[in-house]
Amino acid sequence: MHTGVTGWRKSTRSGSGGNDNNCVEVRRSMNADFHLRDSKLKSGSPVFALSAADFTALAKAL
């Protein structure tokens, strides 16, 4: 059972070069779903909520 929101995480594939900020960040929500945001905008980014099934489908499509 998931009990809380996790911190934002950025992909390790985002690298440390000039594109370091060009990535999507993800975190788990209270109900075990996922939130996505633009890492360049940080707290100013819109946050998109996805169900676990939708997040899995998105990850597999990429």
Render pLDDT for 34-58 as a digit per residue (tens, 0 to 9): 999 988 887 899 999 999 999 999 9
| Statement: residue 1 has pLDDT above 50 | no
CB 39 within 8 A of CB 24: yes
- pLDDT category, 14, cuts 50, 70, 90? low
Q: Which residue has the higher pLDDT, 3 or 5?
A: 5
Dihedral sign from CA coordinates of 34, 17, 13, 61 = positive
H helical segments located in 1-62: 52-61
pLDDT at 16: 59
Q: Token pair 């990850």 is at which residue?
A: 59
Q: What's the whole-model pTM score?
A: 0.71
